[in-house]
Structure 1
Amino acid sequence: MITNILRFQFRNEVNEAERQRALKVITRTASTKSVAFSSIGRYFGADSYTHAYCVGIPNLAALDRYLREPVHREGDFQFIPLLARLSQMMVSDDPDPDLAAKIKQCLDAAVDPEWKELFDRLGKVN
């Protein structure tokens, strides 16, 4: 299982209705067939992140499908511009010592230059 965890904070000028729409957009992404489980909602950490997104993806083939889902890319273009900060981490119970490199290959193959630029405009993703 590959678990992708995002912590994020909306920009101050994003109102509650926009926040709720954004959460619906990422919930739609988390509802694709490639996702085994998800949890999306408030984040209770001590830092200034306010929300979190967590999806469990069964394996690399499912990760590749998840990344290539049109709803994923479309959703990011609606969601990412509303953020002030974003932190990502991936964890896995897969013992493959090359898994991190394989995940990077999946990401590099699926994320086109325009999509990458979207994240670059946000700034450093921790």
Structure 2
Amino acid sequence: MIYHGIRMKLRDDVTPEQVDEALECLKAQGRDIPAVKAFVFGTEYGGDYDWSAVFALEDLDGYGAYLAHPAHTRSERVGFPLMARFESFDICDTPDPGLGARIAELQRRNYAGSPRLASLVAGLDAHAGSSAVPHGGG
């Protein structure tokens, strides 16, 4: 199982309506993407991020299906313009020294396949973690 986590710090000018829409997108990711086996999201406490989420994905095939699913791409299109900072990370309960590189390749292909997404990510003030592959900015 791969646990894909995200952390988001919103820009100061984000409206409550925009937050509601972005959170509905996160719910849809967990609810509508068949590759997601379980998920949790909510307010982050004890850190410097506003919202966090974790999606449980069975394997790399599921991870790739998650990235490509329309609910995920919609969430990125809606959410990235609202964020000042974004961080992603992955946790796996099976030791595999090559897993990080394969996840990075999935993320790289995700950005390469969508110039619009790559542009949104490049516009973030800060972007770190497993999804922060070279993409021409940010």
TM-score (normalised: structure 1): 0.90
Choose from 98, 109, 126 the match for 1:124: 126
Q: Distance in 1 between matches of 2:103 and 2:76?
A: 19
Query: Number of matched residues?
Result: 125
Greater RCO (CA < 8 Å, at least 6 residues apart)? 1
Aligned to 1:20: 20
Structure 2 letter corresponding to 1:36:
K
Alpha-carbon distance, 1:107 to partner:
1.6
Corresponding position of 1:37: 38
Uncovered stretches (5+) of structure 2, i.e. residues with no partner? 129-138
Deviation at 1:20? 1.3
Distance 2:109 2:73 in 1: 13
Q: Describe the SS at the equivalent of 2:7.
A: strand
For 1:10 and 1:33, locate their aligned partners in 2 and report how far apart those are by CA, in whole Å: 28
- CA RMSD for the aligned pairs? 1.4
Helix, strand or coil at the partner of 1:36: strand
8 A Cα contact 1:30 1:38, kept in partner:
yes
Contact 1:26 1:79 in 2 (8 A): no
Q: CA deviation at 1:49?
A: 0.9
Q: 1:57-116: CA deviations, max 9, x gaps?
A: 110010011111122112211111011221211111122211111111212223223212
Answer yes or no: is 1:115 the counterpart of 2:117: yes
Distance in 2 of aligned mates of 1:49 and 1:109: 27
Where has structure 1 moved over 3 Å in runs of 4 or more? none
